[in-house]
Structure 1
């Protein structure tokens, strides 16, 4: 009788610890996905910001070229390694997304299409931009 109670107690303790562990693992995955989603929303907000007011110019060599009438400057957007990066023609660069498994950018007027995989989760985003004729 005592052995039965002890074995049941040990079994219940093992089940309790296992469910707690699995619950924490699920929460960690959920937090990671929320962080990735927040990072993606922030990148889109940057691309659509009124401070830049980006207009599509052209696509070349795996990158999308934009012009900012507000800054009077050209920008390029491309996937570089595990990051989505925006480069200024005269200035440095700004990483918009980190931890990309892969990414593909394309433009089909008037939409920038981003197919991204962040930490194993696929994201498909379309962002509308005005087009500007190239001055070249």
Structure 2
């Protein structure tokens, strides 16, 4: 429906009706702060916490930079959707919809900002880098 008529022209009530559920049921699947844009972008929302988790859960002796580098190189090699390299049809459809819908662009930017904030918190938890003893 979003592709056919445009994101802004479709209401959550219409999505619910097409799915044979109530509008309330649609939002029961989302956290209380989520919105219509999350019907499209919500599947990738788990990526928000990944960078911070990569830093916190890295191998002993691995630097935060090294852990993030490994994480991103793996994502690129696997052509994961978050890298923009995926050519899976459903991913391309979502990317086209996202690029043509200002509300989705704005929500995606909120996701990215939240991810940066969580990563910054994880890095601050690390404290200052210490030089090895002489």
Q: TM above 0.5, one fold?
A: no
> In terms of Rg, which structure is larger?
1
Higher relative contact order (CA 8 A, sep 6+): 2
TM-score by length of 1: 0.33
Whose helix proportion is higher, 1 or 2?
2
Whose strand proportion is higher, 1 or 2?
1
